Structures are given as C-alpha cells and as structure tokens.
Amino acid sequence: MKANVAVTRRIPRNGIELLRGECDRVEVNPNERSLTQAEFLAMIAGRDGVLTELINRIDDEAFDAAGPRCKVFANCAVGFNNVDLAAANRRGIVITNTPDVLTETTADLAWALIMASARRIVESDTFLRSGQWDGWGPMQFHGHDVHGATLGIIGAGRIGTATARRSIGFDMKVLYYDASGMANAELDRLGGRQVGLDELLAESDFVSLHVPLTDQTHHMIGQAELARMKPTAHLINTSRGPVIDEAALVSALGDHVIAGAGLDVFEKEPAITPGLTDLDNVVCLPHIGSASGATRAKMAELAATNLLAVLKGQRPPTPVNPEVLDR
C-alpha cells in the first residue's frame, strides 16, 4: 500500500513492524522523549495517517499541518482528551483509540496503589534504605487495613469495574458512582451499591477514580470533596490528572484531611504541583498504568491496526468518532 505514515513516539516493535509491512513509508520519532509541538507539526506534514501518543495536541493546527491527504489519527491510548473531536468531525478525519486491551493491567495498578498507600509501602522502604531502621517495633508504620474496608469506585466503566472485581478477595464493601446515573449490572452482581457522589466520599475507606477527562470531570475532586472524605481514607487516581485539583490535594494531605493518596497521573504532567512529592503520605508513579510489556504490545498492535484499516477504506476496530465513517 502506498501510504506515508508518521509515528510520533516509539512504540513496541510489533506495532512498527505491522505498519512497515503494509506502508511504503513509516517514520518514527527517533527521540526517547515526546516531540515538542513544533516538532510534532513538522513531523506530521503531508502524511496519510499519524499514530500519536496522548500528549500530542490534535486540533485544527495539527490537521492543517498534516494536510488534506491525512485520513486518520490513531491514538495509542484509551483516552482522547488531547483531540478536538469537533474539528476532526468537520474535516472527516477518523480518530481511534485503544480501549479494552489495557483494562486489566490498569486495574492491577490501581490495586498496587491501594495497597502501597494503605500500608505505607514506599515510606517504609525509604526509611529502611536510608539506614534509619534499628529493628522491629510495635508502633512502627501503622497503616490501614484493606480487608473488610469500603471501596468507592468513581466511574463505573471497564477499568472501574475491573478494579472493583478484585475487591472480592479482600471481602470489601463496594460503592460506586457514575455520572451517567446508569446502574452497572456486574457491580450489582458483586454486591456493589450505586450511590451519590457525596455518600460515596463520606463512606469509603478507599476512593478510586476511573473517569475520562471532560469539562464535567475536570477538578471533580477538590477541596470540598476531600473534606467530605474520612480522615482515614485514601484517594487513588489512575484516570487523568486534572480530575483532581492537585493544589487542594496537597493541602488535604499536608493537613491530614485524608490519610493518603496513590497517584499515577498528574494535573499538569510531567510537571508536579509544588509540595506534592515532599509529602510522605502520597505514592507518586510516572503514568505507568498500562505499562506491562504484554499490554503495551497489544496497544501498539491495535493502534496500528486501526490506522491501517482506515487507510484501506475499512472500518477500524475502535473508532472514537464513528459518525465520520457512517457518512
């Protein structure tokens, strides 16, 4: 197939090989970093399709840079808050993402953060490595039990449901809230109870966020919401950083309004709100929710498959804006 494709960040080899097996030109960002916006716009010029990462801003400026030949932007991520969908729809450009394949791996990481925050794992490890530990003591590093506790799931989609499913082995009570107001049959079968946001915040020992970033979810957890939580509660975020007002969280953790937090995403990543990493009661990870070798390979394959399908005039497996295909 005569196609000219850009890959804006190096992805696992299987995705690149899939593209190179079908396209006569595939250019991959050679840097071990994200492109600047200027570099991004230069790289995508004159392409038939572009495989992107979540940090790339895909809007009218990008569509103008890519030019009239470009038919598809394939995000190698489940999120697509970096895309101006209205602009894509006006131009008839297909946007795709990689849902489903990272659900279980991200839910695993949510649980890693639950356990690490509850049992003060990182704080304890740092203490030991610093040479301060002089032996076992009955008052050292008291944390919070996970078994028998209440898990609150905000966002009862695929990843939220998978996270809740793992609570069975810990004999936890599950509460869930979804802005759509729709009940989740699987969570109901697990004994979960659908509640309002205020009730979930007030009753949960662990609050885990699993919502997309939209105008409605931006800063959905701020000072007022943190104040409604138990002083012994932990906040977990593997969704999108701007869902939390990070400055409010720094204050809440520092003042012990809540006991702890586990974060894989940040409001202005890679920048971190001042004071956050100075706190002992927060676990901070560099956005590794889907970072297992097997899952990242599946994401690369799906992103490449989506891109190739559009270039062949076929329907991609996971379009974000299927209305463009249905015209």
Domains of the chain: 4-101+293-325 (3.40.50.720), 103-284 (3.40.50.720)
Q: What does the pLDDT read at residue 226?
A: 98
- Reported as a pLDDT band with limits 50, 70 and 90, residue 88 is very high
Backbone φ, ψ for residue 174 (5° rounding):
-115, 125
Nearest to 110 by CA among 263, 244, 277: 263
Q: Which residues contact 321 (CB under 8 A, 6 or more apart)?
A: 85, 88, 89, 94, 95
Mean of pLDDT values over 50-61: 96
Q: Judge contact between 87 and 64, C-beta under 8 A.
A: no
pLDDT-derived band of residue 61, with 50, 70 and 90 as boundaries? Answer: very high
Average pLDDT over residues 298-315: 98
Residue 292: pLDDT over 90: yes
Alpha carbon distances (Å) from 170 to 38, 208, 315: 49, 15, 42
The sign of the dihedral angle between the CA atoms of 108, 109, 112, 113 is negative
Q: Please state, for a pLDDT cut of 90, what percent of the chain lies above it.
A: 98
Q: Around Cβ 25, how many Cβ atoms within 10 Å?
A: 13
Mean pLDDT of 2-13: 97
Read off the pLDDT of each residue in 62-73 and give the average, rounded to a whole number.
97
* Average pLDDT for the chain: 97
Instruction: Write down the pLDDT at residue 45.
Output: 98
Omega within 30 of 0 (cis) for the link into 270:
yes
In the predicted model, is pLDDT for residue 82 greater than 90? yes
Instruction: Tell me: pLDDT of 227 over 90.
Output: yes
Cα–Cα separations (whole angstroms), residue 207 to 47, 218, 290: 43, 17, 20
- Express each pLDDT in 163-217 by its tens digit: 999 999 999 999 999 999 999 999 999 999 999 999 999 999 999 999 999 999 9
Q: Which residue has the tokens 């809740």?
A: 164
Catalytic residue IDs: 240, 269, 287
> Contacts for 118-122 with beta carbons within 8 Å, 24 or more apart?
118/143, 118/144, 118/145, 118/146, 118/206, 118/234, 118/260, 119/143, 119/144, 119/146, 120/260, 120/280, 120/281, 121/283, 122/283
Which tokens hold the place of 306? 């989506």
State the pLDDT confidence band at 1, using cuts at 50, 70 and 90.
Answer: confident
State the average pLDDT over residues 27-33.
95
CA 80 – CA 66 distance, rounded (Å) = 18
This prediction has a pTM of: 0.94
Q: Is the pLDDT of residue 327 over 90?
A: no
